[in-house]
Amino acid sequence: MKEMKFRKNPFVVGKVVSGESFADRKELLSELLLDVVSGQNIIVFGPRRLGKTSLVKELLRQTKEKYDVQPIYIDLLRYDTAEQVAGQIFHQIAGTIDKAIELARAVIRGVSIRLNESNIELVLTPPSDLLTKIFDYLGTKAAEGNRIIVVLDEFQEMEAIAPNKIRTIRSIIQHHENVSYIFTGSKQSIMQFFTRSNHPFYKFGKLIHVDKPEEKEMMAFIEESFLKSGIHISSEPATQIIQLTSNLPYFTQMLAHETWNVAVLNEIGEVSKTIVENAFETISNRLRVEHETTWSNLTRNQRIACKILVQHVNPYQQQALRKYHISQSSLQQSIKSLIEKQVIWKKDGHFEFLDPFFHHWLKKRL
């Protein structure tokens, strides 16, 4: 059997990407770079799988590379308690667990340390005071001339982690001059923090909505990535990859990844539309069980709403309402719940599925 030479697939699926694997948003990155080094606080929001985390991780990478900045990235979905968040912040500041323990003991009087696998937890009575002391310390460190950027990913989780400290945290960090805070989350979950006038974080930073990338940027990324790996792809199949995935970055990378695999495994030097179509069907078949599970978890009216959205540009046509025996108000409520579940979103005045493969699966069922 002929031994295959190892070749790295340039398209990354299901992981945060940065550097050469980061596909788009050059103008937005340049704008954000200017903002954070100027001390601006930023709220990044948008539907899942549009690349919010990859965007902020690439921003941190470029900021650290170009400027003398201390980056701190905290994914709040990973932590259940203030002790865990506090430990992670000190770990990232200090660089190692040993140094983090030493720093925590020097900064917080009466703190004790709990080791949990490769993470540390800071223990203090009462524990709710931990985060305020941590943010106080960040302000002190920044005042000494250390510029810091703190990303709090999925920021809505802070209300569960420190429910009684949100107002206090705001009162502390609003005075930090050398610290930029970046808050991320979905539109539904995070906007209540920053757009409700009675919320402590009301208008706390610049709002950045993460939308689909520019098609020309995705096209250039796809063509260049294939070419660098020794495979040619013309504009027609590259456009096809973007169109089949509705230019949603997660799924565009997924289809490009599978297309590249098909080309390499079959020793094909140029990608055709047929190869793209075959790759799309391969992924669709692979995701069938996931789509069946999604479907089974929807209510009857939500399923009806999905069927109508697949078949009609305007879902509120009387013809569609009569066909499926649903009232306009019930359909409106079901569409609203599908948006909350992030099955669909409203884009440029019409509704789109956030998973193009689920959309394809639905079309085949009808």
Q: Is the pLDDT of residue 365 over 90?
A: no
Q: Is the pLDDT of residue 66 over 90?
A: no
Question: What is the per-residue pLDDT for 17?
Answer: 63
Based on its alpha-carbon atoms, the radius of gyration of the chain, rounded to whole angstroms, reads: 24
Q: Is the pLDDT of residue 1 over 70?
A: no
Question: What is the per-residue pLDDT for 196?
Answer: 85
247-306 pLDDT, tens digit each: 999 999 999 999 999 999 998 999 999 999 999 999 999 999 999 999 999 999 999 999
The answer to whether residues 86 and 131 touch, using CB atoms and an 8 Å cutoff, is yes
Q: Which residues pair with 149 in a beta bridge?
A: 71, 180
Pick from 108, 97, 183, 101: nearest CA to 138: 108
Question: Cβ neighbours of residue 305 under 8 Å, at least 6 residues apart?
Answer: 315, 326, 331, 334, 335, 338
Categorize the per-residue pLDDT at 2 as very low, low, confident or very high, splitting at 50, 70 and 90.
Answer: very low
Q: Is the pLDDT of residue 37 over 70?
A: yes
First-to-last alpha carbon distance for the chain, in angstroms, is: 45
217-249 pLDDT, tens digit each: 899 999 999 999 999 999 999 999 999 999 999
Q: How far apart are CA 286 and CA 14, in angstroms?
A: 15
The answer to whether residues 344 and 291 touch, using CB atoms and an 8 Å cutoff, is no
Packing angle between helix 97-107 and helix 82-94, nearest 10 degrees? 110
Q: Is the pLDDT of residue 106 over 70?
A: yes
What is the rounded (10 degree) CA torsion for 357, 358, 360, 362? 170
Q: Is the pLDDT of residue 13 over 50?
A: yes
Q: Which residues pair with 44 in a beta bridge?
A: 184, 208
Q: Please give the average per-residue pLDDT across 6-32, as a whole number.
A: 76
Question: What is the per-residue pLDDT for 125?
Answer: 66
Categorize the per-residue pLDDT at 159 as very low, low, confident or very high, splitting at 50, 70 and 90.
Answer: confident
Q: How far apart are CA 258 and CA 239, in angstroms?
A: 15
